[in-house]
Amino acid sequence: MPFEFRSPLGLALLGLIVPLVLLYVLRIQREPRRVSSLWLWRAAARDLLARQPFRRLVPHVSLILEALALAALALAVARPLTRGGRIDAGHVALIIDASASMSAVNGAGRSRLAEAADAARAAVHRLGPGADALVIEAGRDPRVVSPWEHDVHRLDAAIARVTGGDVEGDLGRALALASDHLRTRSGTRKVIVFTDGALADRDALRRSVYPLQLVRVGEPADNAGIVRVDVGRTSGPAGKDQVNAFALVQNFGKRPRSLFVTLAQRGVTAPLASRRLELAAGEQAPVVLTFDASAHDQGMGLVIELSPPDALRADDRAYVRVPESSRLPVVVSPKSASPWLVRALASDPETELLSAEPSALPTAEVPSDAFVVVDGACPKYLPGGDFLIVNPPAGVCVTATIGGPIERPSITSWAEGDPRLRFASFDGVSIARARALEPDGPNASLVHGRDGTLIADVSVAGRTGTLVAFDVGESTWPLRASFVLFVRNLLELARNHRAGAAAGPARAGEPLAIRVPLDVTEVELQRPDETRFTAPAHGGLAVTPGPERAGLYYATWKGQRAGSTLIPVNLTSAAESDLTTRELPLPPGPTTTVRRASELADAVSDWSWLLAGLALLFATADVFWTTRRARARAPGARTPLRPLRGEGGVG
């Protein structure tokens, strides 16, 4: 195996051998002294009579040891390597799987991601002279960790920055990103993917357009996880609400598992409910954990946990929050609103009717999830969730413009496909008077008359709004069943929106949509590790990038009505929880290879530390040789003078 030097400039230290040799051949400039006899100094006298500044080089042991120490030190600084096999490509894209399954640990407590990082570093060390590499982190959304780089040290640092998340990975998107970058390079190109094979899309690697090398990491492990979670609230006996937490648990191992499933409040160790499960190999089973909820439990965070834990901790826990009461709060404004509206709203047994004046809406205690109905006005600030505005005055109202009066408008068509008008018919409905209504777009018209729009969609971000441009009491509509159907459709839509606003659990890696009051411009979120970040809000909706970690996220906002909410984020992915070995379809042809991570790690040997040890050994030997006479002489002993060989006496 040929040697390669990662830092060839270190060989410049070999130049220090030249001044070392000069120290041994330069004559010492002596100082003249008067002595009584030259009998013991004849050799020194002959040397003193020489006229050249240099003397003949004598191969001293110290010189040899010092030269060897310098040579070994220079080679160690140059960092020589031997490679078991070079990567035959000028441009290499390194894709490191950073999905949830890569955080699974083996018996020694080492994660698959750490194994992949070691293998990626070994691949970097096998790059040929002049080759460069690109490092991509393949989570749910791929991320370029390092652009094209030749320097091995920078590539090693980039690989160390790859962090896994509790997300379902998408290697297909990472391969597409790598292909886009490789197209901009000329010469030989290659893609190396480091993964454990737990892919949601098994055909992702087959779509690679460049030569592909798959490096498998991790050993198969038995694992059980929560692959689905939900929560609901129903009216129980004796008028108490019950919270039902649902979890689907699956055993992905080849042996039966005995598990305990517990439900606990966030930050509380005592469980609210628990159940024992016996799962056969490959079996999945649903679990429903129930407890009685009180009024102050609304919005409380809950944790569903499997014990004992196993190789993958991310799927051993799931998070939900206690949903709102099954009764939908409905706020009617003003208190003297049309009795037709009040009767239709009260016909739904799952509503809780409240009332407030329009001027008091910004300050009234209107629940954030309430359905708000305003009759005869159009307040600039509307709290709550979905809303209905009936018979507004002239001017701008939400997203529509209200004009002058229209006498006896006739209805010509309506949007039968809109859920608000499901099963509703306007045949035979007559209206005494209405106002001209101009919605912000042609698709916003729900009920159209000969003189223009009569009912329009005025929804804003995160909230469904409906505007009726006439007084229902001045029409025959309340006398028909379609009016009650229309109101019930609005209530059902508001109830569905409330259930899916922020109460339902989200998937890790997916963006979070948080419904907030219209005047809120910023939302602060606290992660499970108590670090914080902010997200902008506009039009009553704040959208944040997908969180990488599962847990309960706490969102707060300020404004006329400050508020907060808990957002559960979970992994719940059967593809990531399956830690067994799976065969992956690969692109056909000889350009595709599969290797284990250990093969790459063993292919590169760094000899720097060995050479540094040799340098230290030579330096120690030199010190030992130089001080041998001083150590051999006993303390206080005198060395006897002996005449020079061949000299008869003092002459």
Pick the closest to residue 509 from 117, 115, 142, 105 (CA basis).
142
Q: Using N-to-C axis directions, what is the helix angle for 339-346 and 481-499, rounded to 10°?
A: 60
User: Same domain, yes or no, for 451 and 352?
Assistant: yes
In angstroms, rounded to a whole number, what is the distance separating the alpha carbons of residues 276 and 274? 7
Say which CATH number the domain at 399 has. 3.40.50.880
Give the CATH number, domain containing residue 171: 3.40.50.410
Is 648 part of a structural domain of the chain?
Answer: no
Burial 241-262 (b: 16+ CB within 10 A, else e): bebbbbbbbbbbbeeebebebb
Classify 196 as helix, strand or coil. coil
53 in any annotated domain: yes
Q: How far is CA 449 from CA 65, 303, 442, in A?
A: 105, 53, 13
Here the tokens at position 378 are 């159009």
DSSP secondary structure letter of residue 448: E
Say whether both 293 and 438 belong to one domain: no
| Residues 6 or more apart whose Cβ sits within 8 Å of residue 304 | 226, 229, 245, 247, 261, 262, 263, 289, 317, 318, 319, 320
pLDDT at 571: 94
* Residue 502: per-residue pLDDT: 46
Strand partners, 462: none
Note whether 253 and 287 are same-domain residues.
yes
| pLDDT on residue 647 | 44
When divided into structural domains, the chain yields a total of: 5
Q: Kindly provide the residue ranges of all beta strands, DSSP E only, lying in 170-283, ordered along the sequence.
A: 189-195, 212-216, 224-235, 241-251, 257-265, 271-279
Task: List alpha helices for 321-398, DSSP H.
Answer: 339-346
| Integer Cα distance of 379 and 387 in angstroms | 11
Pair 338, 485 in one domain = yes
Q: Is 511 contained in some domain?
A: yes
Out of 518, 548, 569, pick the residue that ends a domain. 569
Beta bridge partners of 317: 305
How far from the centroid of its chain's Cα atoms is residue 545's Cα? Answer: 10
DSSP 8-class letter at 170: -
Q: Is 639 within a domain?
A: no
Query: What's the pLDDT score for residue 648?
Result: 42
Residues of the chain with pLDDT under 70: 1-4, 6, 25-31, 35, 37-59, 81-85, 236-239, 500-505, 600-606, 631-651
Domain-located, residue 52: yes
Q: What element of type H or E holds 553? A: strand 551-557
Domain boundary among 324, 355, 385: 324
Same domain for 165 and 309, yes or no, is no
Whether 429 and 550 map to the same domain: the answer is: no
Select from 294, 324, 354 the last residue of a domain: 324
Cβ count near 311 (within 10 Å): 25
Considering the domain architecture, whether residues 376 and 454 belong to the same structural domain is answered as yes
Q: How far apart are CA 438 and CA 400, in angstroms?
A: 6
Same structural domain, 120 and 61:
no
Q: Give domain status of residue 647, yes or no.
A: no
pLDDT score at 441: 86
Task: Tell me the residue length of the chain.
Answer: 651
Tokens, residue 310: 């196993």
356/490 same-domain check: yes
What pLDDT score does 25 carry? 67
Please indicate, yes or no, whether residues 467 and 550 belong to a single structural domain of this protein. no
Which residue do the tokens 């005055």 mark? 393
Statement to judge: residues 349 and 489 lie in one domain: yes
d(CA 323, CA 297): 9
Q: Which CATH number belongs to the domain containing residue 271 in this structure? A: 2.60.40.150
Task: Give a yes or no: residue 642 inside a domain.
Answer: no
468 located within any domain? yes
**Would you state the pLDDT for residue 325?**
78
Domain extent at residue 370: 328-499
614 contacts 233 by C-beta, under 8 angstroms: no
Q: Are residues 480 and 376 in the same domain?
A: yes
